[in-house]
């Protein structure tokens, strides 16, 4: 079922044992953990048959891990925050399991050091891309669920999410500036902010994007990011601070 179960090189096996120690994990099937680190760019470059590609990348594990992560986090929020409404719980959950949060956790676990990427993705800085890191963390959760069951996966997820939940409770989490700005503008002016990409700088493999946001005729920015999404968040943050939304 899992193609790397019996084919791991000894060096890779030792590396994955070390990862488990630092992450507080214990897999029976190290090959399953290894699969969680295989990005689709690797399978795209190394597999001829389309039907086989999904079996040597982490996308299916990511799908499963996302569901486990969501369930465990939702249950924790439900029991911890009995005074909060469904809408508030949904907003908190979206922050706690956001790409920014998950990628940050992945970096603290050194997930980037164990990723298996295609050459193109490697050259374009894939080891530091938030989406790849967040997806790999979800894949690890999915792999742990298959390997050791729900309780083990729940324990691991809570060890990661409890500190993030506390940051939200203490209002020290990374804010979703775009959502906050849009909610405010829609409520006050019955319209939405307009984002404009004003320029891109740097070589193709290391682009910086510069974005402005227009609110009722006033322009904030430009602010920069490694992709348009990050730049838009930065511009929205500038607007939010100027409008005293924090």
pLDDT band at 53 (very low <50, low <70, confident <90, very high): low
Residue 63: inside a domain: yes
Residue 104: inside a domain: yes
Which of these ranges, 36-40, 169-173, 185-189, 204-208, has the smallest mean pLDDT? Answer: 169-173
The yes-or-no verdict on residue 173 having pLDDT over 70 is: no
The yes-or-no verdict on residue 63 having pLDDT over 60 is: yes
Helix residue spans in the chain (DSSP H): 10-23, 30-36, 40-46, 50-53, 59-80, 86-96, 99-108, 119-123, 130-148, 150-169, 177-189, 228-242
Interatomic CA distance for residues 34 and 27, integer angstroms:
10
Q: What local confidence, expressed as pLDDT, does residue 217 receive?
A: 93
The yes-or-no verdict on residue 166 having pLDDT over 80 is: yes
In this structure, the answer to whether residues 124 and 89 fall within a common structural domain is yes
Q: What local confidence, expressed as pLDDT, does residue 67 receive?
A: 97
In this structure, the answer to whether residues 207 and 100 fall within a common structural domain is no
> Is pTM beyond 0.85 here?
no
The yes-or-no verdict on residue 74 having pLDDT over 80 is: yes
The yes-or-no verdict on residue 2 having pLDDT over 50 is: no
In this structure, the answer to whether residues 70 and 132 fall within a common structural domain is yes
Question: Which active-site residues does the annotation give?
Answer: 66, 138
The yes-or-no verdict on residue 182 having pLDDT over 50 is: yes
The yes-or-no verdict on residue 52 having pLDDT over 70 is: no
Tell me the pLDDT tens digit for each residue of 6-46. 568 899 999 999 999 999 999 999 999 999 999 999 888 77
126-130, 176-180, 217-221: range with highest mean pLDDT: 217-221
Counting the structural domains of the chain, the total is 2
For the stretch 104-108, contacts whose Cβ atoms lie closer than 8 Å and that sit 24 or more positions apart, written own/partner, are 104/174, 105/137, 105/160, 105/164, 106/133, 106/134, 106/136, 106/137, 107/133
Average pLDDT over residues 105-133: 93
Looking at 169, 187, 202, the residue that finishes a domain is 169
Residue 138: inside a domain: yes
User: Residue 223 maps to which CATH number?
Assistant: 3.30.160.20
Average pLDDT over residues 156-162: 96
Q: What local confidence, expressed as pLDDT, does residue 175 receive?
A: 64
Show the domain range for 217. Answer: 177-242
Looking at 169, 186, 205, the residue that finishes a domain is 169
In this structure, the answer to whether residues 57 and 121 fall within a common structural domain is yes
Looking at 138, 169, 200, the residue that finishes a domain is 169
């Amino acid at each position: 079922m899992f193609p790397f179960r019996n084919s791991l090189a000894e060096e890779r096996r030792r590396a994955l044992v070390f990862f488990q120690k630092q992450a507080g994990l214990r897999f029976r099937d190290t090959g399953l953990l290894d699969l969680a680190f295989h990005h689709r760019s690797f399978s795209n470059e190394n597999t001829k048959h389309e039907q086989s590609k999904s079996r040597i990348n982490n996308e299916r594990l990511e799908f499963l891990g996302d569901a486990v992560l969501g369930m465990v986090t939702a249950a924790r929020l439900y029991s911890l925050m009995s005074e909060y409404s469904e809408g508030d719980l949904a907003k908190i959950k979206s922050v706690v399991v956001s790409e920014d949060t998950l990628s940050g956790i992945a970096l603290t676990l050194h997930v980037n050091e164990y990723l298996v990427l295609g050459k193109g993705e490697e050259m374009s800085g894939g080891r530091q891309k938030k989406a790849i890191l967040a997806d790999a963390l979800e894949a690890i959760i999915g792999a742990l669920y298959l390997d050791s069951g729900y309780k083990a996966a729940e324990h691991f997820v809570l060890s990661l999410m409890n500190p993030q939940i506390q940051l939200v409770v203490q209002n020290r989490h990374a804010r979703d500036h775009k959502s906050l700005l849009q909610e405010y503008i829609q409520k006050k002016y019955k319209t939405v902010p307009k984002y404009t990409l004003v320029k891109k700088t740097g070589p193709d493999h290391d682009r910086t994007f510069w974005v402005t946001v227009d609110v009722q005729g006033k322009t904030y920015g430009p602010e920069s990011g490694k992709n348009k999404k990050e730049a838009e968040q930065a511009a929205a943050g500038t607007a939010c601070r100027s409008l005293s939304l924090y």
